[in-house]
Amino acid sequence: MTLRSRIEPLYERYLQWQVKHIPRHVAVIQDGNRRFAREQGLDTAVGHRLGADATEQVLDWACELGVRHITLYTFSTENFRRDSAELASLFLLFQEKFAAILKDKRVHKNHIRVRMIGDRSLLPEDLLATIEAAEKATLHYTDYSVNIALAYGGRNEIVHAARSILDGVKRGAVDPAAISPATVESHLNRGAPIPPVDLIIRTGNDYRTSNFLPWLANGHESAVYFCAPFWPAFRKIDLLRAMRVYDQRMLLKERTDRQG
């Protein structure tokens, strides 16, 4: 047993003790699968599969720590520019993981609702059918929710919301004079009831939020945590450090509120 393997569990417990405020909604930009694979001398497809394994582990940790909602930036609209072989490999991986949800005991034991956010018109029909089957199987779960951002772009999402609102105006269902931020929010992500983001995490040592949930995150001034590990190497310690950033922000807010 190495010194690090002895110390890390102690440090995890210390971090968990420090975190008094648990974010309700955590959004994660899962960056670095390809760079991790290159560093390890692995194929890109292997890097993506290791990233998918990391995703399952992080979801377990989030559930254990009491995070009720998590949104994962898995594939952006810009990612369609990648070569056809990588896209085919990714779509196959997505299909496998959504299909596995149907029989995943953790999903059904913990009553986790799974949904996709993003532009469904851009995805292959067979992948979309598998996604919709997973969504249907978890439709009535309310304890936790996992939102998978596929073919997602934040500005694109706002454009779709604007079109939906305009359609409602044309049908007489929306009063133009009554349009408010709440109206826009209710038309985002096909009307899915996704709460504001409390904390954004980005892995891979890149310091930007990449058009991710601009209304629910930037619009609500969420805390942001950037960290160096590539996504396949993300640890529970990294998640707890991110949650500590949120906790510190909430403590500061409480002190400011008390001081008037």
Which residues are the active-site residues? Answer: 31, 79
Which sign, positive or negative, has the C-alpha torsion 205, 208, 213, 219?
positive
Answer for the pair 241, 15: CB distance below 8 angstroms, yes or no. Answer: yes
Compute the half-sphere exposure of residue 37: CA atoms within 13 Å on the CB side of its CA.
13
Query: Residue 219 corresponds to which amino acid?
Result: G
Query: Residue 84 corresponds to which amino acid?
Result: S
Separation of alpha carbons 162 and 157, rounded Å: 9
Query: Residue 164 corresponds to which amino acid?
Result: S
What would the DSSP string read from start to end of 44-65? HHHHHHHHHHHHHHHHHHHHHH
The one-character DSSP state at 27 is E
Q: Based on C-alpha coordinates, what's the Rg of the chain?
A: 19
Answer for the pair 28, 226: CB distance below 8 angstroms, yes or no. Answer: no
